[in-house]
Amino acid sequence: MTTLNLHRVLPLKRSLVEVFRYLRDFDNIEQWDPGVFSAEREATSSTQELESTHGDSVSRSGLSKPSFALQLNVMGRSVPMRYTLDICEPPSEQGQARLVLTGIGDGFTAVDTLALSATSANECTLDYRADITTADVPSLLMPVLNWWGSRLSDAAMNGLKGALENDGPSQPGALARLAERLVLPGMINYTRRGYRKMPSRGLSRYLDGRRVGISGVTSGLGLACAQQLARLGADLVLIGRGAERLAQAAESIRPWASHAIDIQCIEAELSNIASTRALSQQLLALERPLDVWINNAGALFDSQALTSDGLERTMAVNFVAPALLTQALAPMLAARGGRIIQVVSGGLYTQGIRLDDMAFANEPFNGPQAYARAKRALLDVSQYWATQHRGLGLHTMHPGWAATPGVASALPDFNQRMGKWLRNARQGSDTAVWLASHPVFAQGQHSGEFWFDRARRPGALLPNTASSETDVQALISWYEEQISV
């Protein structure tokens, strides 16, 4: 057998407690290690189990060891590996903490030891050791193996430092901006390739004690978003259709929380104006007010239909409902220095608003076009309302192309052709969670911006898709007429 011993020491400008908490959730590794395509906590492993795993107490108490399924990036090839968390020693009074994980792959094993030491209240040092055992390697190849291991270690440590310290807004390079302006070349970054190219993918800004509401949480992006917010310590208000589905969502979210969090579920039908208005009143009447509201719920339909209010249903669900909730919650959230996150779609780049035909009455109905127009309308009013509320962070983002049940149902051909390139729901929800949690957005900073992959983006790219100030005022007048019914 051949053993490769790797060792790195990394100073970090984050507190020992925060770094330990981030590393303990080992499936976060896909956020910082380029040698990992994906990482998922196995179903039996909750974050509370991670919290209770201390030294060898797991074996004595009979608790199962938390485990993680990884897909490694080995020269572009996906290789499975399973890690277990054997030792988890939380920060001590002496400012020390330690994690030991054992990984098993096909023909190789690894023991990773991550020892942390506080150097000040807001800084610590990571001592990282990896002992990798594999089949015998000829002595002539050992220099190559050592070089390869050294490169992997350096890349992982650089990625971790970026995830924890350099996780603010990014700035695309000149070529990336040109590709985006040309639209089609830029769309390659809507896939998981774009997510992996982000300078930082770290989500480590904790939300303990703060309350986040999110619509559309029973599957897809909304569920992934809620899971990550729970990991960050947020109390949650979950909005969706059907009490049973909401209860199931809540149960699937709880294991992600690192401590006991409060989860409240509220049923609402967002295709109905009265139901949406009632929801807004319930949210305003919460005993503990919201700090963040995320308008995530949306739907793409393949046929035209009117709601009970006489609205084309795509426009009702994807524009009128989130606009009504935004308008109702904005004053309260502005007074608290809170945030509203609008989840739209990159498809809006292909469409302008059609004030003369908001319901597709004068042209054949096209589901993706209707969806894009509704999201364009939401972006337009959000950017206008952002100027009206001092202290409110009103941010709009699009998730790229993500594999979700909604996409599979509404766009089956696209889903089948693009399947292996699509982002998973967690990757698609990344920017929304980042906007909700990062302190750079406190007290209304950067309000009114449009974001994709943590970078500011233009609101329009193609000719005749940008809305003028007159168009936006007319759009708001149309919206106010609809909700006055």
Residue 479 bears catalytic tag: no
Residue linked to tokens 């959000």: 382
Please tell me the predicted confidence (pLDDT) of residue 46. 58
Q: Where are the beta strands (DSSP E) in 66-107?
A: 67-74, 77-89, 96-105
Selection from 377, 378, 394, 398 nearest residue 436 by Cα: 394
- Measured between alpha carbons, how far is 19 from 36 in angstroms, rounded to an integer? 19
Please tell me the predicted confidence (pLDDT) of residue 144. 81
C-alpha separations of 312 from 149, 315, 374, 383 in Å = 57, 6, 10, 23
What tokens does 394 get? Answer: 């009103």
- Measured between alpha carbons, how far is 35 from 150 in angstroms, rounded to an integer? 12
Residue linked to tokens 């060792």: 7
- pTM score, two decimals? 0.93
Catalytic residue among 22, 190, 195, 371: 371
Residue linked to tokens 């930082």: 200
Apex CA 289: angle with CA 224 and CA 425, to 5°?
5
- Domains parsed from the chain with CATH numbers: 2-165 (3.30.530.20), 174-483 (3.40.50.720)
Judge whether 450 and 397 are in contact, CB under 8 Å: yes
Per residue of the chain (485 residues), give pLDDT as tens.
Answer: 788 899 999 999 999 999 999 999 999 999 999 999 999 998 655 555 555 544 444 433 445 789 999 999 887 889 999 999 999 999 999 999 999 999 999 889 999 999 999 999 999 999 999 999 988 878 787 888 788 889 999 999 999 999 999 999 998 888 888 888 888 788 899 999 999 999 999 999 999 999 999 999 999 999 999 999 999 999 999 999 999 999 999 999 999 998 899 999 999 999 999 999 999 999 999 999 999 999 999 999 989 999 999 999 999 999 999 999 999 999 999 999 999 999 999 999 999 999 999 989 899 999 999 999 999 999 999 999 999 999 999 999 999 999 888 888 878 888 888 888 899 999 999 999 999 999 999 999 999 999 999 999 999 999 999 999 999 999 999 999 999 97
Please say whether the dihedral angle defined by the alpha carbons of residues 446, 452, 455 and 457, taken in this order, is positive or negative. Answer: negative
- Measured between alpha carbons, how far is 474 from 129 in angstroms, rounded to an integer? 62
Judge whether 346 and 452 are in contact, CB under 8 Å: yes
What tokens does 156 get? Answer: 């992982």
Please tell me the predicted confidence (pLDDT) of residue 352. 95
Please tell me the predicted confidence (pLDDT) of residue 43. 67
Please tell me the predicted confidence (pLDDT) of residue 419. 81
- Measured between alpha carbons, how far is 391 from 375 in angstroms, rounded to an integer? 24
What tokens does 22 get? Answer: 């981030």
Please tell me the predicted confidence (pLDDT) of residue 414. 84
Please tell me the predicted confidence (pLDDT) of residue 50. 55
- Measured between alpha carbons, how far is 28 from 41 in angstroms, rounded to an integer? 9
- Measured between alpha carbons, how far is 383 from 448 in angstroms, rounded to an integer? 5
**Cβ contacts of residue 173 below 8 Å, gap of 6+?**
none
